[in-house]
Every structure is written in structure tokens, then in C-alpha cells.
Chains A and B, each alone.
Chain A
């Protein structure tokens, strides 16, 4: 761990808790197995539920016969689409799901019926006894199939063919920008889809409590492993036809989300309806296969980029197109589509930019948000594309990036407000710590002294590639075995080449707009002080393992001068806690953190007033620390926190305060669609990857990742480092292993045995560097860490592979079979790895041209 300077507040006081590596507040409970997750919840008289899912990727439902299932002893209820006729969806603009399919099924796994029974062992038989008659329809399983068959309509939300959403923007004058370029390059890329693979499978327990005297008939409580209890609250209420006042959604401990628990799901709604029908609690726990099927994972995206650049490396224009494979339903897909384009302008300065995006429906599990939501795919494409341009022009890839860095406190060409940006220092850090320059000098020496290749297997790099293919090849110990491939034996040093690659990225610290448009706070915190000195914090924020509950504790502890362990935390409960929109878009620390500060400051004000009156010390001189409020000039003059609370309660009555947060105005443009991309701040990350490639077998081992992250100010550096490492690990898996493959309309490998994820054994050494330049608006200067650090990892690995062997794989994952096919000399002319997609021409939506106004724009 690097040496840290003690973080200080604006008055120059050192923080007591902020910036310190404290344990999570729930660490003990989790490590000892005491923490309750949704599947741990058992209620008296509880029933078990399960969904019958479609075996066909696309079919019309002709009939459903549930009579036999209902007659099975132990079965208490069976419901079908007719019982839940209200459509829903996470976005108001994509209300295209039924809890149980009506008329049609659109992917293998689409829920068709739901059963509740006394015992989970009855469910198999009950599901088997539900007879569904289908008329099988042709299935479209890829972006290009969906484009080629507009006649086969998968989802009526698509206005043209299977195009769910098409967008088209031009910011600035793109033709003029390309005219100024000395060099223009175009590339196609494909980013494979993948699943979040949280270790906790989705689970929920619903409990309907009847109340005949209530005109509504009762109240409903749902415990669910969700990242967004507030949105689930809204959608469950809507589908069940219950007022929101009669529905309570609670997220207990959640075992990982990564975006996969951000939608309202069929199993949640069905558990609620089954509970209402039976008057008993109902639990539904998904299998791992169901997690792969309900999915909402990373969209597979095909991308085309054209970039203009001056000889000195200054970017003059970019035109970017994305084609998203959305799967069968909308989910967050409209937002994802925008996100594939919106943030291109946030990392490097683009004087003009054109973006066209298109999401297609296919007969696959619906895609949605996964860590890096819609920005991971273009970040990969752009960073590899820029690396190619650097090599084409003989520019140093680091200098090329530095030359184009976005300036702090500016607006981008598409109107996004930028505040702090420490990407420059991040690049400096990863370059220095990885010994980037020394590595490449050594590589160049090796290239001079030998041809740098194994004689009969490696190809020569194209002459224009000044560094590519010159991999340093002296053995540095054996490669470790990746679980995705064969084990590499020791002693193959001759066939092993090493390379280093670099990439940079940026990410939002919370979406600037909520999912449903409103003027309400995005997050709110209430704090209650009791006369015994107890501090209880109430916030809707949902801890999915990232530590948001702990963050609330540290922040309130810092402001009130009590220990974090002293604080009771009530979170993610739509009845008890004020709304926080959810754990998505890296928003919680920034927004709930600011709300917590606001609430704590109100109480602190009351405490200081009371103490000031008692001690006759002016409020400005008071400090709260370690359970004591004291005179800074005379620390002996003090009162305990408990005494202060009692004085204040006597003076003001019960001590309760709330604080809330909404992003500021003026952070985005005024065009339609400008709501996706703005954020109160952006985090920045830079990554260097070192890889070793076995040129005979094509196996890639990522040996080390250096990852520097501009976090503003870490509230807890341990948690930030955990998030950065988690992002690095996940990015590594996406870069070299994970793939959501379909065969004959089915997910080929919906299990954690066959779906390749990195294990501890595979994960490379990760060196995390936190760059701390406090942001003016972040809580104590903090910015996000949950998602941004993932994004540069994938292109850094791709660029490192090229650096090692002089071969580009323009799609993910970079697996041994793809790499070997490229490294081995081809017997025929190589064809492009990523075949272009045929888009409707003209692009099937109206072009929106937008120019930023002069004010505040570069």
C-alpha cells in the first residue's frame, strides 16, 4: 500500500474516519455467516415457488393447461399470464414485459407460469404437469439476423423491424473536423455479451398480510436480493394493482449485483401474487441457470469508429456507430444505447462528434446494465482504435493520449459538464509503476538483437507497426494456467512473448437524471438521535457488497464525532427509509453521501447551539470528536455527546433531521436524449496490462495489471481498493474468458462450471493506485469507484496482446483459439475478424444536430 497523507477538511483539520482503512460495518456478520440474505429468510407457513420457463427461443403460446398441476397434492396455487395482465419494465419508455408471458415467448427462459407448493421437492413435478402448447416461430439470434429479418417481429416495441431504438446525433461540425485531419482511420469491433455472475443467485420472499377492514385488503412485504428496492416497489405495486402505500420492499444483505439485480423481475412479482392468492409467505430462489436466463447482462455490441487526427496526434473528429444486441425485452436498453455514445467525449477532448446507435431485439435473454453500463464496450473499441492510430502514425501511445486529455472544469462538445479530472496523474502513475518505458526499451533492444520471434510460428509485424511484434521473450518463469484453457507447462520460454498495453477511461458518479423524470431528491437520509446517545441512520441506499452502508456510517460518524460502530443503520426498506434511487450508475457514495452530510450537519448545528449555550463557547470554536464536543481553544471545556444530545433534545424536542441530494442544474445540453451521460462528476482511470502469450497455443496469461483511479477522495481506501480490484478482475474475465454463447437458440453453457469466469488462481496481480484530488461537489471530495476502473482493463489487455505478438483480435474475449488462428500464418488472404453490419440507410431516425453555446465551452 502506498504511503498516505492524512486527508483534511477545508479548515485544515485532519479527518478522524474519512480516508482511513476501517473494516466494513457488516464484515463480522458476513464472515461468520450471520448476515441474512433473501434466501436465508424463513417465515412460518412459508411456501416455495418456481417459474415454468419457455423451452423455445420464439414461439406462440396456443394453450396452457394447469389443471393437473393444481390437483397435485401440496400445490396451493398456479398462475399464468392471464393472472398478471399489467405490463411493466424498469424504464417508463420500455413497458414491454409481463410477469408471465402472454401470447408469445421470446427467449428460452421466458417465464410462462408460476407455482407455489408446500415443499420445494413438489415443484419439479408440479412444473412438469403444466401443459403448454406452443407454435414454434423462427428465432433471430444475432444483431445481423435481427437486421436481416424485419419480417420476423420479436417485440412490438420495435417500430421498424426489430429495431428497438435508434438514435443519431451530431455535435459540432463533423465534416469540417474530418477535413482538418491529416489521417483518418476506420475500424470495426465486436464486444461479446456476458453475465454479471453474482455469487448470490436472485431470491425473494413475499408476504401478503390480509386485513379485511382495509379497502385494499392487506399489505405486502417483499424481501428481495435487489439493487433497486425503490424501483421494484413502484413496479410491484403497479402490476399487482396495489397502492404504493401498501407495498413494502426490503433489500436484505445482497450477495453481489453488478447491475444484474437492478430490474423488477418476474420471480419477484409472481412471489407477491402467489402470496396474495394463498395468504401465505412465498419464497422463490433462482437456480444458477435462471440467473443466466433472467440475465440483464452486458449487451453484445458491434461498433464502427472513424477518427480524424492531426499529424501531431490532436483528435479532430470522431464518428461512432453502435449496434446493440438487446435480447428479447427492453430492460434498461434505451439508456444502454445512449451510453454507448454519450461518454466518448468525456475522456479525451473531441472538437466534434457524431454518434449513431441502434438496439436490436433478438430471441435471447434480455440484456441490461452490467458494471460500466453501455460504456465498457465503446471504451474497449475506442482505446484499441486509438492504439492503432498511434502505431500507424508512430506516436507514443501514452503521449498521444496525454495530448488529448479532457480539461478539468469544461463542457464537452455534447454539453456534459466536467469538473475534476486527474487522468493525467493516473497515466503518470501507471506508466511509472509498470516501468512502461523501461519495458519498451528492453523490447526494442530485443527486437534489434534478434528478430524477436519464434522462427516458424510468429508472423512478422507490418512495417508501419513500429513496436508491435517485438515482444520481450526471455523467460520470466512459467505461465500460470488459465481455467479457460489448457495448462501451460514450464520450460516453453521460447514460445512465450510478453507485451504491455495501456488504456484510459472515465465514468459517471451517478446518473444525472432518475429513471422516471421528476424533480424529487435522488437520495435522502434521515438521522435520529436518542437521549441515550444512540444514532440511527435511515437511508434507502442498498448495500450490494460495495459497502454503501459502511460509507453512511463513516460519514455520519465523521460529522457527529462518534465512532462508526456506534451507529445503527437502517437501509433499503421502502417503509422505514427515505428514498434512494438504488445502487446503480455509481451514484450511492456521491448522492447518499451528500445527503448524509446534509442531515448530519443539521443535527450538529442543533447540538452545537445547545452546547454553546451551556459552555458559553462560540459555536465556531466547537469540535465534535470521539464522542465529545469541546472548545477547540480549550479542549478541557467539553460535554459528552450524550450530554449534548440531552441538552439539544430539551431545547428542540426529538432530534431528527433529514438531508437530501439532487444533482445540480446545468450539467447537460438541452437536446432530446441529453439526460443520459450527465453526472455531477466523473471519475477517471488508467490501466497498464502486462501479458504473456504462448505463440504456439495462443494462450494469453495476464501477468499484472496496474490500475490508477481518480477517486477524488477515498472515504475508505480499503473499500475503494476493493472496488478497483473487483473491476480489474471482472474486466480481465471479460477480456479473455467470458462469453454468452448460444447454440440452437439456447445459452450454450448456463453454469459456473462451463461458463468461464476467472478464479482466484487465474486473477493476475493487481497494483491499485488511488489518485486523490478532492472534487468540489463530492462528499468530502469523493467520487465513484464501483464501475469506472473496469473500463480501461479490457482495452489495456487487448493492446498488450498486440504489443506482445503483433496481432489484433478486434473482438472479445481474446481466447486461445482466436489468437492462435491469427498468429499462425494463414494460407489464404485474411478476412476481417469483425464483419460489418448492414445498417438501414439512411439511419432510421432523425439526426439531431446540436452545438454548444459559447458560454463555458472550449
Chain B
């Protein structure tokens, strides 16, 4: 069995305490909630933080409040199981419940949190390996090395955003609250992400993601197609249908195709104002799929992942529209 590196563990019970500890311990400290992503990474020495600040003792992070008519607030410490089983989420934000239920296995969903899933470290099968393996192949720029082993000619890291819930939250137009000793801010979740495998989040080192805010459901339908393991493709779609049956609004976000969730605007714009037909959905899917540019750093072949992208986009749209 791989062993954890040594670390100190701090256990705040309020957000304020946690923010103070985070500011006080400096940039080397890390936050941990469920630990289902961080601890395996620590065992493989992707991270060796001297201090962990555990968020599981903070009651304020563990509730889901509000209503789909007004807006809903999901504490960052809510487990994926709780989220997936929440009746209001299931009914009014079904894509989010589906995505939460798609993460890993029941045991890990019982421990893993929505905040942790949103802030999942980007993944790559040159990076998510043991110290021995990475030493053997010569390390990559994301940890201990200088180059990207997937695309050695590239100046950047291509690790993949693999969180199932991230593309869904973007598609739902969610916001997140970030708290630090300096104060707090609420930003659209899409601004939390950036297309950089090494630094995939805009959150500063002293900020804590405390909650996720969902806008009123307001007639939006949503669907997510992902997978059992870390997704090799995630498709999140949300749209609203007008009284005449035409598409009033539509949003589409792809997961696991880049270092951040990729929003597809141009393709779905074609849906708006239209009465959906199978042909139209096919066109939209094909166009949207062009945004997926997989590299050889996840399961199955690049070609395959490219080829099935439009199929899954079309299927996600079909789940939302009767054509």
C-alpha cells in the first residue's frame, strides 16, 4: 500500500477559523473535505502539503437551502450522495443530480463533496501515477518536470478537467462564493475555471469555496451524460422551451475535453428560436463536437473520443427535447 506523506491536520469548526488558518499557514497549506481526490494524490506525491485544513467539521458547509423558485444554495461540504438524492435537485436540476451520482462509487460519493468535485485536480495519465512511475518516465511539467509528456512541443499542460459536476454547474449558470480573511466574493462558476492544466482555478490560495448558488429553475430542463469512472467525455445540456414548442434558451458545456469545462455557444445558438428536428439536433451536435480536442492522456483512443462526442451531444439534446 502506498503511504501518505507526513502532514499536520487542522480542524476548524467555522468558515472564519478555516479562512484564518489558511491565511496563517501560507501557500503550502491545502484544504481537504472528503479527501477522495487529495489523499490518493498525496500518496502518489502529487502533493506533499505540510498542513491540511480539514473542512468536515464546519457545519455551515453541509446544508442545502432555498427553493427552485427563488434560488438554491448548496454548501460546498455537501456530499455527492446527499446532493444526488436531494428531491428538489433531482426534480429541478436533474443534470446536477445525475452528475453527482455519476462520480465514482457509492463509498466515495459518501465521502466526496460537491466543493471537492468542482475543485478536482485536473487529470492526465502521465500525471496521475506514482512517484516511481513518474520518476521512471522523467516527470512532467505539472509536477517535478519541465515538459508536457502528452504534447512535448507544447508550452502548456494539457491535463483534463474531469469533474462531472463542473460542466453541469456552468450550464446551469451557477455561481460560487469564495471566502477569505480579506472578505468574500461571489462569481459565476464559469469564471472559476481557466484552460490551464497546471492552474485550472482562478481561486486564490487563501480563498475557500464555501457554497454553490443555483439560479431559479424557471422552466429550464437539464441533462448530463457522463460515466462511471472519471469521465472521458461529459455532456451537460440545459434549455428552456417556449410555449410554441420552440427553443427559448439553450446552454451546452463539455467536460473532460480540455483543462476547463468548455462552453459551446455558437452551436447551441442555432437552436434558439427553432422548432427542434432530428436533423437540427444532428447539425448542432456535429458543430458543437468540433470544440472537443482530446489528447492521448485519458482512456480509449483520441479518434474514438472525437467520433462519439457528437453522438453524446445529440443524445443529451434528445433527452431534453421531443422531436
Contacts and interface: CB of A to CB of B under 8 A. Distances in A.
B154 interface: no
Nearest to A748: B125
A65 interface: no
B308 A486 contact: yes
Interface in A726-781: 744, 746, 748-751, 753-754, 756, 759, 761
A855 B128 CA distance: 62
Given A289-B130, A748-B125, A816-B300, A486 B312 contact: yes
Interface residues of A, number: 41
A486 B232 contact: yes
B243 interface: no
B78 to A, nearest CB: 23
Given A489-B315, A491-B318, A746 B136 contact: yes
B80 to A, nearest CB: 16
A487 B3 CA distance: 33
Contacts, number: 92
A489 B319 contact: yes
Given A486-B232, A486-B233, A748-B125, A285 B1 contact: yes
A756 B229 CA distance: 10
A55 B227 contact: no
A539 B228 CA distance: 44
A287 B1 contact: yes
A104 interface: no
A484 B6 CA distance: 34
A344 interface: no
Interface in A284-299: 285, 287, 289
Nearest to A694: B311
A55 B318 contact: no
Contact of B135 (A55, A201, A485, A824): A55
A478 B312 CA distance: 15
Contacts of A696: 308, 311
A481 B308 CA distance: 15
B226 interface: yes
B133 interface: yes
Which among A108, A120, A751 has the highest number of chain B CB atoms within 10 Å? A751
A697 B308 contact: yes
Given A287-B1, A486-B233, A696-B311, A491 B319 contact: yes
A815 B319 contact: no
A487 B1 CA distance: 31
Contact of A53 (B102, B128, B132): B132
Interface in B222-280: 225-233
Contact of B228 (A55, A285, A487, A491): A487
A56 B133 CA distance: 10
Interface in A263-316: 285, 287, 289
Interface in B302-323: 303-304, 307-308, 311-312, 315-316, 318-319
Contacts of A697: 308, 311-312
A484 B232 CA distance: 10
A806 interface: no
Given A485-B227, A486-B308, A287 B2 contact: yes
A487 B299 contact: no
A483 interface: yes
Given A56-B136, A485-B300, A487-B227, A754 B1 contact: no
Contacts of B312: 486, 697
Interface in A805-858: 815-817, 820-821, 824
Contacts of A750: 129-130, 133
A768 B136 CA distance: 45
A492 B315 contact: yes
A139 to B, nearest CB: 12
A698 B227 contact: no
B94 to A, nearest CB: 12
A288 to B, nearest CB: 8
Contacts of B229: 483, 753, 756
A285 B2 CA distance: 10
A121 interface: yes
A495 B319 CA distance: 15
Nearest to A762: B228
A124 B227 CA distance: 35
Contacts of A698: 304, 308
Contacts of A816: 300, 304, 308
B44 to A, nearest CB: 9
Contact of B303 (A746, A815, A817): A817
B132 A55 contact: yes
Nearest to A760: B105
Nearest to A754: B125
A487 B226 contact: yes
Contacts of B227: 481, 483, 485-487
B137 A744 contact: yes
A289 B308 contact: no
B191 interface: no
A761 B104 CA distance: 12
Nearest to A819: B304
A676 to B, nearest CB: 36
Contacts of B303: 817, 821
B315 A287 contact: no
B301 interface: yes
Nearest to B228: A483
B139 to A, nearest CB: 11
Given A486-B225, A698-B308, 17 more contacts: A55-B132, A55-B136, A124-B3, A483-B228, A484-B299, A486-B312, A487-B102, A489-B225, A489-B316, A746-B133, A748-B125, A754-B125, A759-B105, A816-B304, A817-B301, A820-B308, A821-B303
Interface of A: 53, 55-56, 108, 120-121, 124, 201, 285, 287, 289, 481-487, 489, 491-492, 696-698, 744, 746, 748-751, 753-754, 756, 759, 761, 815-817, 820-821, 824
Interface of B: 1-3, 6, 40, 102, 105, 125, 128-133, 135-137, 225-233, 299-301, 303-304, 307-308, 311-312, 315-316, 318-319
Q: Which 9 A-B pairs have the closest CB atoms?
A: A817-B304, A55-B136, A483-B228, A817-B301, A696-B311, A817-B300, A486-B227, A697-B308, A487-B227
10 contacts: A53-B132, A287-B2, A289-B133, A484-B299, A487-B228, A489-B316, A816-B308, A817-B304, A820-B308, A821-B304
